[in-house]
Structure 1
Amino acid sequence: MLAIVCPGQGAQKPGFLAPWLEVAGVRDSLVAMSEASGVDLIHHGTESDAETIRDTAVAQPLLVAAGIIALDPLVGAAGSGAGPQADLLAGHSVGEITAAALSGVLRREDAMRLVAVRSRAMAAAAAAEPTSMAAVVGGTREEVLTAIQEHGLTPANINSAAQVVAAGAKERIDALSAAPPAKARVIPLQVAGAFHTSYMAPARQELEALVAQLTASDPHPQCPLVSNAAGEVVTEGGRYLELIVNQVAAPVDWEACMRVFADRGVTGILEVAPAGTLTGLAKRELKGVALMNLNTPEDLDAAGGFIREHGSAVDRVDAVDHDEEN
């Protein structure tokens, strides 16, 4: 049982797309996705520095494009997406757009249009007033949530049993950092604003207007999407669009997504580039589940073997192909 997961903002690194340009077809794909998003993905993914790609309007399109080009050599750029290869697909925050593109729920051009509007709208909302986010690591869940609430903040990301990200006004984040919950550390994050909170309401309105112009397909029947919205298992394209609009101003519950993986008997988790964040959380939360990071073309052979080993959907696809040949 295979889950393919897609990282969120903060996972990007300077030059991380450079190795992929050596793979056949990747440059053309990046050019097309650059046109759709209005962002020069090749330049920013190979030459821009860390500060430049920290910009929300740059980082988010880069991340979606990276996940697409990383998996393309394994599932086929012109094929039916990762659905037949995996049993579940999920993404953290903006990674949900990557997952939708990989599954075929969104055409990749529409996915890039969506992430372009999302990223610019979120950046604009963040610039309206000084807000920030901080990871609260350790402590007990009840005490951590109480402390976040007492400081007038929102638990914007519930990443694992040991990590909750608080978001809100910058001075309140500073106050939480100065008085952390018992046995917990507060780590300020280098982000532009309080994402996944009510501060992002203007961005939500912009997304509503765009989504009305998009058409979403249903996920592959054997590979639903697992949503950040309390781990809801999404089997309809229309429902995906509703959730992705709400998501910008609502908490990301990645812990709930991991519970779905456990409940469904996932044996392997493959994280697409730039990988490591979500497999790191799974390493602590999902003991015994095999993990694979697909970061560079050098990982492709191992990733292909990992998919064949854990993707029960592959057996179904092979069986269909065999029947068609006969």
Structure 2
Amino acid sequence: MLAIVCPGQGAQKPGFLTPWRELPGVEELLGSLSEPARIDLLRHGTESDADTIRDTAVAQPLLVAAGIVAASQLRSEEDLPAADVLAGHSVGELTAAALGGVLSDEDAMRLVAVRSRAMATAAAAEPTSMAAVVGGTREDVLAAIERHGLHPANINSAAQVVAAGSAEKIAALGEDGPAKARVIPLQVAGAFHTPYMAAAREELAAFAPTLSPADPTLPLVSNAGGEVVTSGALYLDAIVTQVASPVDWEACMATFRDRGVTAMIEVAPAGTLTGLAKRELKGIALANLNTPDDLEAARALVREHAGLAPSDQEA
């Protein structure tokens, strides 16, 4: 049983699309995606520095495009079985929407262009930030976040919650955090996935009717509590709501566990979500699809695990 997962903002690295451009058709694909994205994806993915691609309006389209490119190369072998389930973390849900057939590649890029700019504008309205709280007990961590007037924006695992809110309150959390936990400030532009993003949610809600979602070709696991979504319209609704609501990736991993997922492939730029799975989903096979050199191993993993429940593997 195979899951393909798509990373969220923060996973991008300077030059991470460079190895992919050498493959036939990739430059053309990035060129075709750049117009609806409203940025030069090839230039930013191969030449721009870390500060440039940290910009929300650049990072988010790059991440969605990178996932589309990596997945298209993975599936370029016609006999490759389909995955059993898809999921994305935060903006990775737009990548998953494209991979799962809910949105065309072009519409996914149109949507991420609006999303990224709306979130950047909302973030600029007042000084806000985010910090990862690692360790401690869930009860103590959530209590400390609430005590400081912050929001749990990302529930990434049993040992990691990302707090978000005003920059001043994030600094206070760092000085007076929960017991046995580390508070690590994140280099992000604002308090994503909190009520601070209400204006961005409204802008997305106004844009969404211009899209024509289809029902997914594969089950999609939503950041909203790990629910398995089989309606394209409902998945698009969840994407709109998600910008001002918490990302519950821990619940997504619980759904993988409940469905008997035996392997996970993370599309480029990979490593964050497989890292969480390594700690939370003991025993499953993991692969990072970061460069074309990773394609052979990833395809082998697909053939070994797609459509297989744990009992099938043991037989």
- TM-score by length of structure 1 reads 0.93
Match of 2:263 among 264, 268, 272: 268
How much has 1:199 moved relative to structure 2? 0.3
Question: Residue 275 of structure 2 corresponds to which residue in structure 1?
Answer: 280
Cα distance in 2 for residues equivalent to 1:38 and 1:88:
30
Question: Residue 92 of structure 2 corresponds to which residue in structure 1?
Answer: 95
Cα distance in 1 for residues equivalent to 2:14 and 2:274:
21
Deviations along 1:197-242, one digit per CA (max 9) or x if unpaired, are: 000000001101111110111111xx21000000011000010111
Structure 1 gap segments, 5+ residues each: 314-326
Counterpart amino acid of residue 290 in structure 1: A
Cα distance in 2 for residues equivalent to 1:74 and 1:67:
10
Question: Residue 7 of structure 1 corresponds to which residue in structure 2?
Answer: 7
Counterpart amino acid of residue 147 in structure 1: A
Cα distance in 2 for residues equivalent to 1:92 and 1:154:
18
Match of 1:236 among 219, 225, 231: 231
How much has 1:51 moved relative to structure 2? 0.2
In structure 2, the CA distance between the partners of 1:76 and 1:104, relative to structure 1 (3 Å rule), is farther
Counterpart amino acid of residue 54 in structure 1: R
Question: Residue 156 of structure 1 corresponds to which residue in structure 2?
Answer: 153
Question: Residue 54 of structure 1 corresponds to which residue in structure 2?
Answer: 54
How much has 1:180 moved relative to structure 2? 1.3
Question: Residue 105 of structure 1 corresponds to which residue in structure 2?
Answer: 102
1:33 matched to 2:33? yes
- 2:210 is paired with a residue whose SS is coil
Question: Residue 305 of structure 2 corresponds to which residue in structure 1?
Answer: 310
- 2:154 is paired with a residue whose SS is strand
Match of 1:122 among 119, 123, 135: 119
Deviations along 1:57-98, one digit per CA (max 9) or x if unpaired, are: 000000000001011122249x9xx9x611110000000000
- TM-score by length of structure 2 reads 0.96
Counterpart amino acid of residue 310 in structure 1: H
Deviations along 1:99-128, one digit per CA (max 9) or x if unpaired, are: 110111100000000000000000000000
1:301 matched to 2:301? no
Question: Residue 200 of structure 2 corresponds to which residue in structure 1?
Answer: 203
Cα distance in 2 for residues equivalent to 1:106 and 1:26:
20
Question: Residue 251 of structure 2 corresponds to which residue in structure 1?
Answer: 256
Deviation above 6 Å: which 4+ runs of structure 1? none
- 1:132 is paired with a residue whose SS is strand
Cα distance in 1 for residues equivalent to 2:91 and 2:76:
22
Question: Residue 191 of structure 1 corresponds to which residue in structure 2?
Answer: 188
- 1:180 is paired with a residue whose SS is coil
Match of 2:162 among 162, 165, 171: 165
- 1:312 is paired with a residue whose SS is coil
Counterpart amino acid of residue 257 in structure 1: C
How much has 1:161 moved relative to structure 2? 0.1
1:178 matched to 2:178? no
Counterpart amino acid of residue 87 in structure 1: D
Structure 2 gap segments, 5+ residues each: 309-315
Deviations along 1:115-147, one digit per CA (max 9) or x if unpaired, are: 000000000000000000000000000000000
Question: Residue 136 of structure 1 corresponds to which residue in structure 2?
Answer: 133
How much has 1:3 moved relative to structure 2? 0.3
Counterpart amino acid of residue 256 in structure 1: A
